[in-house]
Amino acid sequence: MLVLVAPGQGAQTPGFLTPWLELPGAADRVAAWSDAIGLDLAHYGTKADADEIRDTAVAQPLLVAAGLLSATALGDALGDGIGLAPGAVAGHSVGEFTAAAFAGVLDDTAALRLVRTRGLAMAEAAAITETGMSAMLGGDPEVIVPHLEKLGLTPANVNGAGQIVAAGTMEQLAALAEDKPEGVRRVVPLQVAGAFHTHHMAPAVAKLEQAAAELSPADPAVRYVSNKDGQVVTGGAEVIARLVGQVANPVRWDLCMETFQTLGATALIEVCPGGTLTGIAKRALPGVRTVALKTPDDLDAARTLVAETATA
């Protein structure tokens, strides 16, 4: 079974969208999305520097657009004979919006409009207090979590494969760097502009609720695995409610991967800008074949994986 996944904030790098815009129809599609959300996605994906695309209000819709664009390119590369039909979809943090579009809960434009609202609201919330996130590599969650709580930090992303991301104020993160939990090899600051998936994001939830109330979501056409608890969600309204609430709650990617295993996953493709989730999967999901879509050059490997999974 194939799982299609979408990465979260921090995966973006300057110019990463450039080769994708050279594909037939891609520039027109991105231009239409840009008009719909009032943000020049092509500029930010090709010419903007690292600081510009670190801005939450920019990074979030840019990542969703890249994921949708690369998934469309993969579908085009497969042709009519195979088709892109994953057994399950999921996204990490903002990647859940990409996954919601994959599942047919929202169309591409609606997903981008909602995530544009999310990015703006979370940027405003992040501006209230100087906050951030740091990844810890190694260690035991049973040791790490109490240590974080002692420092006033939140385990905002429990990613599995020996990785937990802490979130809180910059002072709290500095204290973590000086006082690592036992067994943690490194503490790595992430290129994000706030303490996402913590109480610091509570002001963004109300604004996202207002925007979500105007939507008419469809039920997922494929299995949609939620960050909240790793469970498969079958109702479109419930998917949207979870997207809203997840802004201020921890991401449980470890539980998502457990569900992939339970469902019988044998292959995993991570859409652009791929690499983060496939890296975790290689450690946490032994035997599951992976492909990360970083540039269009990766489409051939993804096409082969889809074909082999379909005929297995």
pLDDT digits (tens, 9 = 90+) for 126-159: 999 999 999 998 889 899 999 999 999 999 999 9
Please give the pLDDT value at position 178.
Answer: 93
User: Per-residue pLDDT for 312 more than 90?
Assistant: no
Buried b (16+ CB within 10 A) or exposed e, 137-155: eebebeebbebbeebebbb
User: Per-residue pLDDT for 311 more than 90?
Assistant: no
The residues spanned by each domain of the chain are 2-126+198-311, 128-189
Task: Name the catalytic one among 92, 197, 200, 226.
Answer: 197
Structure tokens at 14: 């300057």
Mean predicted lDDT score pLDDT of the chain: 94
User: Per-residue pLDDT for 163 more than 90?
Assistant: no
**Count of helix runs (H) and strand runs (E) in the chain:** 13, 11
Distance between CA atoms of residues 79 and 196, nearest Å: 38
Smallest Cα–Cα separation from 216: which of 90, 107, 121?
Answer: 107
Task: Name the catalytic one among 34, 70, 93, 226.
Answer: 93
Q: Is 93 a catalytic residue?
A: yes
Q: DSSP string of 253-308?
A: HHHHHHHHHHHT--EEEE-SS-SHHHHHHHHHSTT-EEEE-SSGGGHHHHHHHHHH
- The residue written with tokens 């457990």 in the block is 258
CATH 3.40.50.620 correct for 2-126+198-311: no
pLDDT digits (tens, 9 = 90+) for 80-137: 656 688 999 999 999 999 999 999 999 999 999 999 999 999 999 999 999 999 999 8
Distance between CA atoms of residues 167 and 136, nearest Å: 11
Nearest 5°: phi and psi at 230?
75, 10
Instruction: Give the model's confidence band at 10: pLDDT under 50 very low, under 70 low, under 90 confident, else very high.
Output: confident
- The residue written with tokens 């652009």 in the block is 272
List beta partners, residue 28. Answer: none
CATH code reported for the domain at 128-189 = 3.30.70.250
**At 132, which amino acid appears?**
G
pLDDT digits (tens, 9 = 90+) for 233-245: 999 999 999 999 9
Please give the pLDDT value at position 192.
Answer: 80
Distance between CA atoms of residues 196 and 256, nearest Å: 19
Please state, as a whole number, how many other Cβ atoms lie within 10 Å of the Cβ of residue 132. 21
Instruction: Give the model's confidence band at 42: pLDDT under 50 very low, under 70 low, under 90 confident, else very high.
Output: very high
Q: Is 226 a catalytic residue?
A: no
